[in-house]
Structures are given as structure tokens and as C-alpha cells.
Amino acid sequence: MGKVVLMQGNEACAEGAIAAGMRLYAGYPITPSTEIAEIAAYRLPHVGGMFIQMEDEIASIACAIGASVTGVKAMTATSGPGFSLKQENLGYAMMTEIPLVVVDVQRVGPSSGMPTSPAQGDVMMARWGTHGDHPVIALCPSSVKETYELTIRAFNLSEKYRTPVLLMMDEMIAHLREGVVLPEPGMIEIVNRTSVVDPDPKRPPYQVEPGQLVPAMAPFGAGQRYNITGLVHDESGFPTNSKTAAEKLMNRLMHKISDNYDDIVTHEELGMEDAEIAIFCYGGTMRAALTAMEEAREKGIKCGIFRAITLWPFPEKELEKATRHVRRILVAEHNYGQMVLEVERVVKGRCRVDFIGKYFGAVIAPADIMKRLEESNDGISR
């Protein structure tokens, strides 16, 4: 049994990161993620870590990338406008296979939008924000406790697969306070990257062992100098125009995520066994969906919930299986309709898909969802 604490979502994120082994936080203050930076600034020196406030969001992720290259677990956090600025370096870290965690506490946009208001408008940017084909892992918590747990999981996945991992929070969870039971340190699973000890200076830095997709990483300063570039590169790390090498690299980058779908993707189902109507949701929207489901059940409406915990890769296999017997899916999200497109893609017209969204700073209430559950109109309504 761990200790019980009253904790805010942003605090849980910072504490989870430290528990996972984060020792470098580089960031720039931005609402509604600023508390993560403030807590990291106070806590990291006590565990031998370092907090650096950079001049902007571009420099923040660049600093985190540099720290990770030396073998340090690193994180940066931001909100929508800053997340936009981080996209180029996110693509760089994906191409160069540098582990780090990027937290996006979503708020109303576009542009400066409404800094203190909740939204979930960045989920498609999380998937397609940087250019080109690239792998993505993005997680989304719906409680303070889960924020702590998923922050640790984000670091574990980042280290395991040598890739940036996105923690897509929203303002609702970031500023929510709940009682949380924190596990004892020995109860937390911690994954560290596979590192090369005393590397041969001539070892190809992106050399992959037979049957593996993730190369072991030699930290800078450990005895091997090598080139890191965002250009297409071969196992030496140096740029190449070889079509064969380019295809080999891109296939490996994509397959190290897609081939490990079952290890990466998680979701939650409630009441789906006999459900005729399913609510699809994620993040803070789950709070309203849960109450609405309970009210619907009391009124005799067989309602269930499918919650995506891993947003990317999208839990399509699980969604397809869970909704085979439902006649209707109501997608509830705090945007103008983003994940509803993925639900429609998976369902392929097999059942009706409706949508309820708020994108102007208001929160979806249980009564809003309940009203839609009781409607009988056909088609998608926005």
C-alpha cells in the first residue's frame, strides 16, 4: 500500500516523470501546463536532476533531445501553440530515434485560442503534425491517478522503442484534484533503453541485431562518436540517397511500432458486453460519459463505454471487436470532430455513428450526452 495524497493532474505528471527516472526537464511556461514546469523546477534538484527554462518551445524540445542523446531521460511539456512549434523537432527525434516524452495539455484553439479552457483539439496534430510518414505513440489519461501511471508508461515505451512518446492531456484532467494512492518505488515497472557499454568506436550506431527492430543506443560521452542527422541515413548514421537504404530505414521505423501494437495499445471497456449503444471517448470526457452511462442504464438504455487510452496507434482492432453487436456509437469529444473520423473508418458503415462535441471552452455535461442517447434521429449530427 502506497501513500495517499491529494494531487493535481499536472502534479501527477511531474511526479510520475520523476518516478520514471526523468532527470532533465526543459520547458517554457504556457497555460494550462505551467504547473508541470513549476513542480519539476522545485523537485528535480532534490533527485539529482536539472530544470532548464528555455527561451521558447523550439529550444525546449531541442534541449530535451540533446539531454536524451547523452543517456538522460528527458521531458518537455506545453500546450497547443507550443505543441505546434515542437513539430519539426518531433519529426527529427522520430527519424533519429531519440527517446523523450512530450506532454501536451490541450486547450481551445487554433492560435492562442482560450488558454484556460478545456479542449481536445490536438489529437490529429499528434498523429500528423510533423511532415512525412512517421511512427507515433500517444497516450491520454482520464484521471489524476492514470496521469501518474501513463507518464511512467510514456517513458517506458519511449525507452523501449527509441521514439518520442506523446502524453495528450487536457485541461480538465491537468487541473483536476483527486486523492491518489502512489505506489511504493519498488512496485513501479521502469524500463531503460538498451545501451551499449564500452562501444567499439567503429560500431555502426544504427546497427540492428538479427530479429530486432530497435538499435541499442550508445550515449554520447561513452566512447563512441557518431553522426546524428534528420536526413535519411544508413546504419552508419550518415546521410544517404540510396533508395534501398531509405526503404529499409522507413520500414524499420514504422514496423517497430506497428509490429508491437499489442504491447503498446491499451483501452477500457465498461458495460460493453450487452450494450446496444456505445459511447466512444477519451481523456477528461470520460468523466461525463461514465455518469451518462449510469443514468442511461437506470432508464433501461443498454449503454456501454469504449475509452481509448492509447490514441495512437488507434485501438482499431479492439474497437471493431467491442462494437460488432451495437446499433449505434456516440462519439463524445471536446473538439469539432476529430476521432469521430477514426471511428467511422473502423466501423465502415456497420452501425450508426453520431457525434457530440464542444469546442468553445464549455465542458460536455452528462446531461448533454444523455440527451443524445435518447434521441432517435438518423445520421451524424454536429
| 378 has pLDDT over 50 | no
Element spanning 368, H or E: helix 366-374
How far does CA 104 lie from the centroid of its chain?
A: 8
CA dihedral 22, 28, 32, 36 (to 10 degrees): 20
The reported pLDDT for the residue numbered 134 is 95
Q: Which residues of 26-61 are buried (b: 16+ CB within 10 A; e: fewer)?
A: bbbebbbbbbbbbbbbebbeeeebebbebeebbbbb
The reported pLDDT for the residue numbered 223 is 83
CA distances from 248 to 30, 85, 88, 233 (A): 39, 29, 22, 10
Task: State percent of the chain over pLDDT 70.
Answer: 98
Tell me how far apart the alpha carbons of residues 91 and 231 are, in angstroms, rounded to a whole number.
Answer: 11
169-221 pLDDT tens trace: 999 999 999 999 999 888 999 999 999 988 888 889 999 989 999 999 999 88
Q: Which residues of 251-279 are buried (b: 16+ CB within 10 A; e: fewer)?
A: ebbeebbeebeeebbebbbbbbeebebbb
pTM of the model: 0.96
Q: Which of 2-16, 154-168, 222-236 has the highest mean pLDDT?
A: 154-168
Lookup result for grid cell 442517447: 373
Helix, strand and coil content of the chain, in percent to the nearest 5, comes to 40, 20, 40
The reported pLDDT for the residue numbered 379 is 40
The rounded mean pLDDT for the chain is 95
The reported pLDDT for the residue numbered 119 is 98
Tell me how far apart the alpha carbons of residues 318 and 184 are, in angstroms, rounded to a whole number.
Answer: 32
Rounded mean pLDDT, 33-61: 98
Tell me how far apart the alpha carbons of residues 270 and 359 are, in angstroms, rounded to a whole number.
Answer: 26
Tell me how far apart the alpha carbons of residues 281 and 120 are, in angstroms, rounded to a whole number.
Answer: 11
259-290 pLDDT tens trace: 999 999 999 999 999 999 999 999 999 999 99
Lookup result for grid cell 516524452: 101
Q: What is the DSSP string of 195-253?
A: B-SS--TTS-TT---TT-SS--B--TTSS------SS-B-TTSSB---HHHHHHHHHHH
Tell me how far apart the alpha carbons of residues 270 and 286 are, in angstroms, rounded to a whole number.
Answer: 11
Rounded mean pLDDT, 70-92: 98
Rounded mean pLDDT, 155-175: 98
Tell me how far apart the alpha carbons of residues 185 and 88 are, in angstroms, rounded to a whole number.
Answer: 35
4-43 pLDDT tens trace: 999 999 999 999 999 999 999 999 999 999 999 999 999 9
Q: Which domains does the chain have, with CATH numbers?
A: 3-187 (3.40.50.970), 269-374 (3.40.50.920)
> Is residue 309 exposed (0-12), middle (13-18) or buried (19+ Cβ within 10 Å)?
buried
Q: Which residues of 101-137 are buried (b: 16+ CB within 10 A; e: fewer)?
A: bbbbbbbbbeeebeeebbbbbbbebbbebbeeebbbb
The reported pLDDT for the residue numbered 369 is 98
Rounded mean pLDDT, 222-249: 95
Q: Using only C-alpha atoms, what is the Rg of the chain?
A: 21
